[in-house]
Amino acid sequence: MITGEIKAITMPKFGLAMTEGKVASWAKTIGAEVNVGDDLADIETTKITNAYESPVKGILRRQVAQEQEELPVGSLIAIIADRETSEDEIDRFIDKFQAEFVSEQDKSETVAAPEPRVIEVSGQKIRILEIGNGEGAPIVFVHGFGGDLNNWMFNQPPLAEKHRTIAIDLPGHGGSVKETSGDIASLAKSVGETLDALGVASAHFVGHSLGGAIILALALERPTLVASLSLISPAALGDVINTDYTDGFITADRRKTLKPVLQLLFADPSLVSNDMIDDLIKFKRLDGATTALTAIASANFKEGRQSLNLLSRLAEIKAPVEILWGKQDQVVPMVDPGQLPGTIAFHPLEKSGHMPQMEQSAEVNGLIGDFITKVETKVG
């Protein structure tokens, strides 16, 4: 919303389930110059605290939201304007915005948010979430060990503005079947068969950690299915893995024991919330969940080593590849970029551990979106 040089900064929506949030802290003070992409504030949700990058350039003239104030998505939290804009103009703008604002929950006519659904794939139940109706090859998200499709809550909705997107719960995870042999080949086969069931002939794949290894294997096994690969902190490009994380994730069954394990995922351990811990404890208590995780870990991660290393086979992959890696990853050590084929775009990410798609979501979304646009432009 823009009136002249006055720009409204509103409470962002991080994930489909988010209805409200609060400014945990302001990164900019009133009167500070703000550029597009600058950290403006840390926004806290029930799931995680995430940096909010400014969508516009100007001067931060007002902090409308107070720190720790709970506000609906879309609420006015700040005003950015030029120095010439008068205080009276800003007051009138704020008054008009507040008078006209209607929260998502209060709207009489709302469009139902997309919900995950379970489909039958080769006799097994697989949960997926589809968002967006863009033309061309869809974007497919594949999470890592112990994750689920909600790991993409900060990424799928923004990228769905221009693309059809599909997030998949791997076997052994989320709302999908819990019986699995756990090896990367079988998990890659399941992802491919899921897309076959959806009638998808080609897709842009985004894979995190174990999910990165899975889509690498898929690109080697079924090259025509893969239009591009965006690998985020991927497994299978080295031998070492921190099994304190994988083993701890399996054995921890209480907040006290699971919290330090989850903190290994982030550069900023304070991002691990009680809600995040509780959600994972609930998942682990599902019938077959721990057995499935144990099978996956046994098949792929033993005694601090990865069972599969595809680094030497990267040159065989026909699709364009980019790699994004958090510089402070404590789970999968960052690969030496000098070992990669020169055709691969490599992006080391500051202030990020093993979960850059959550810690630096705006940067990650921009890199993925730009990469896919370039791939599609070349194909077109």
Mean predicted confidence (pLDDT) in 241-246: 96
Mean predicted confidence (pLDDT) in 359-376: 95
Other beta carbons within 10 angstroms of residue 197's beta carbon come to 14
Contacts for 142 with CB less than 8 Å, ≥ 6 apart: 168, 170, 191, 205, 206, 207, 208, 211, 212, 214, 215
- Sheet with 20-26: list strands edge to edge: 49-53, 39-44, 20-26, 70-72
Give tens-digit pLDDT for 83-97: 999 999 999 999 999
Mean predicted confidence (pLDDT) in 34-53: 84
Other beta carbons within 10 angstroms of residue 184's beta carbon come to 23
Residue 303 pLDDT: 84
Domains of the chain by start residue, with CATH: 7-108 (2.40.50.100), 117-379 (3.40.50.1820)
Give tens-digit pLDDT for 63-76: 999 999 889 888 99
Is the overall model pTM greater than 0.75, yes or no? Answer: yes
Q: Residue 186 carries which side chain, given as an amino acid letter?
A: S
Mean predicted confidence (pLDDT) in 7-13: 90
What is the CA 113 to chain-centroid distance, rounded? Answer: 18
Residue 12 pLDDT: 86
Q: What sign for the dihedral angle of Cα 9, 14, 18, 20?
A: negative
Give tens-digit pLDDT for 255-298: 999 999 999 999 999 889 888 999 999 999 999 999 999 999 99
Largest CA distance in the chain: 66
Please give the backbone phi and psi of residue 273, each rounded to the nearest 5 degrees, phi first.
-95, 165
The residue written with tokens 């945990």 in the block is: 24
Q: How confident is the model at residue 108 (pLDDT cuts 50, 70, 90)?
A: very low
Residue 318 pLDDT: 95
H or E stretch at 245 = helix 243-251
CB-based contact 60:78 (threshold 8 Å): yes
* Cα(223)–Cα(228) distance, integer angstroms: 10
CB-based contact 58:36 (threshold 8 Å): no
Residue 105 pLDDT: 56
Kindly tell me the burial class for residue 312, based on how many C-beta atoms sit within 10 Å of its own C-beta (0-12, 13-18, 19 or more).
Answer: exposed
Nearest by Cα to 266 from 278, 282, 250, 277: 277
